Amino acid sequence: MIPISGLTSLKDIDEIIPKNRTYKLNLLEGKIDGYIDGLSAIKQGVFKILETQRYQYLIYDFSYGSELNELIGKDSDYIQMEIRRRITEALITDDRIIDVTDFVFVNNRENMIVTFRVISKEGSFESEVIVNV
């Protein structure tokens, strides 16, 4: 263990290390660009959860990811109900996220564009996902 001067307990160490700090993904260049925390880290977490197909990657446990690709060919009302449930279920597994609200669905022939509000411990923001239907 590396000694840290001036600290007297593990509680002090927990207060120094930000719990919400993560690597910043640069998807355009396919690399990591430093670190992010706060609301930016939560936004990136939402993106990663919704873009990761649940059960597909062994590195993640079975509660991580979403199941949005299995709705092709279903009735539009059923799809909207299921998308709302599946997005909410996927995102609230992240303990930083409190609720998912204000769903809006725009349906074109091949895709459904879903916008929604994510309410987190750091604040709220709008997010969007495109689902093949």
Domain 20-132 has CATH 1.10.3720.10: no
The CB density around residue 29, as the number of other CB atoms within 10 Å, is 8
The pLDDT assigned to 129 comes to: 96
The pLDDT assigned to 133 comes to: 82
The pLDDT assigned to 108 comes to: 85
Which residues lie below 8 Å from residue 45, measured CB to CB, with a gap of 6+? 22, 94, 96
The pLDDT assigned to 12 comes to: 55
Query: What are 44's two structure tokens?
Result: 């990136």
Q: What is the pTM of this model?
A: 0.81
Query: What are 88's two structure tokens?
Result: 């909410």
The pLDDT assigned to 54 comes to: 92
Q: Domain limits of the chain?
A: 20-132
Q: What is the mean pLDDT of each run of 10 residues along the chain (133 residues)?
A: 54 58 92 95 96 92 90 87 97 97 92 96 97 87
H helices of the chain, in order, are 10-16, 38-51, 76-91
The neighbouring-strand residues paired with 113 are: 106, 130
The pLDDT assigned to 98 comes to: 97
